[in-house]
Amino acid sequence: MITVDYSGRTALVTGSSRGVGRATATLLAQAGARVCVHYHQRQEEAKQLLASLPGAGHALLQADLSDPRAARRLVDGAVTKLGRLDILVNNAGIFRPHPVDGSMPFEEWLATFQETLNTNLVGPAAAAFQAIQHMRRGRGGTIVNIGSRGAYRGEAGQVGYGAAKAGLHSLSQSLAREVGADNITVHAVAPGFIETAMVRSHLQGAAGEAVRAQSPLNRVATVEEVARAVLYLASPEARFTTGGVLDLNGASYLH
């Protein structure tokens, strides 16, 4: 268990109404941070999370992160609410089928592909850009991007997802090299399958058994395991891992 004291620090966690984002926001607040909860459409779940967070001074903001300008405004809004920004967790993402087998009309395929890239890569890049502007004027900070095992092994049927997550890993590394001198560290986590609503349909029946069997541990990650990894990477102890991508897939894919 990470025991770092986050008192006095602030964090924006995108996509925090459920899943990994919710678990991350909860752990950060339990460790003493003031947290800005972000949601796109799940307002009630986000409000419930906000009400459940320990401590005071937390905030709630809405934004559609498929729009990079909205992502930029979200960061500015978090700074306004919290006073500054020490930690950005780019967690929000979508995972929607868009196979290339001809079963989906091209225009629909292209729209899904583009939305996947915008939400999973362009939006996080815009949020990181704006967070860096604020962190440079302050005392530095940390950005943690939630990538994916799919960046390495590919995602058949969701080609935009794999491409976007590979880009997010590379973005993390490039940013780490650029902003380290400004006392800003940038990290990425690459989970495999996680027990979340977004992939629940993939974990049912025989297909779910096959997914779990990809790991010698015969299971997938929990949201808490990913959140604890984020908590570590956002801590001072992890500063020298800047630019790294932390695999969290239970040895289901090694490279």
Find, among 47, 41, 44, 49, the residue nearest to 24 by Cα: 49
Q: Give pLDDT, residue 222.
A: 93
Strands 184-191 and 245-248: parallel
**pLDDT digit string, tens, across residues 195-233:** 877 677 777 888 888 888 998 998 888 999 999 999 999
Q: Give pLDDT, residue 198.
A: 66
Q: Give pLDDT, residue 205.
A: 85
Q: What is the C-alpha to C-alpha distance for residues 143 and 156, in angstroms, rounded to an integer?
A: 29
Q: Give pLDDT, residue 10.
A: 98
Q: What is the C-alpha to C-alpha distance for residues 34 and 59, in angstroms, rounded to an integer?
A: 8
Q: Give pLDDT, residue 221.
A: 84
Beta strands in the chain (DSSP E): 10-13, 34-39, 59-62, 87-90, 141-146, 184-191, 245-248
Find, among 36, 106, 20, the residue nearest to 77 by Cα: 36
Could you give the domains of the chain?
10-248 (3.40.50.720)
Q: What is the C-alpha to C-alpha distance for residues 106 and 175, in angstroms, rounded to an integer?
A: 34
User: Does the CA dihedral 220-224-228-231 come out positive or negative?
Assistant: positive
Q: Give pLDDT, residue 63.
A: 98
Residue 105 in tokens:
């009309």
Find, among 55, 48, 124, 116, the residue nearest to 37 by Cα: 48
Find, among 225, 229, 226, 131, the residue nearest to 185 by Cα: 131
**Residue of 6, 152, 161, 232 with catalytic role:** 161
Determine whether 253 is an active site residue. no
Q: What is the C-alpha to C-alpha distance for residues 72 and 77, in angstroms, rounded to an integer?
A: 9
What's this model's pTM, rounded to 2 decimal places?
Answer: 0.94
Positions of the chain with pLDDT lower than 70, given as ranges: 1-3, 198
**pLDDT digit string, tens, across residues 48-59:** 999 999 999 999
Q: Give pLDDT, residue 202.
A: 72
Q: Give pLDDT, residue 88.
A: 98
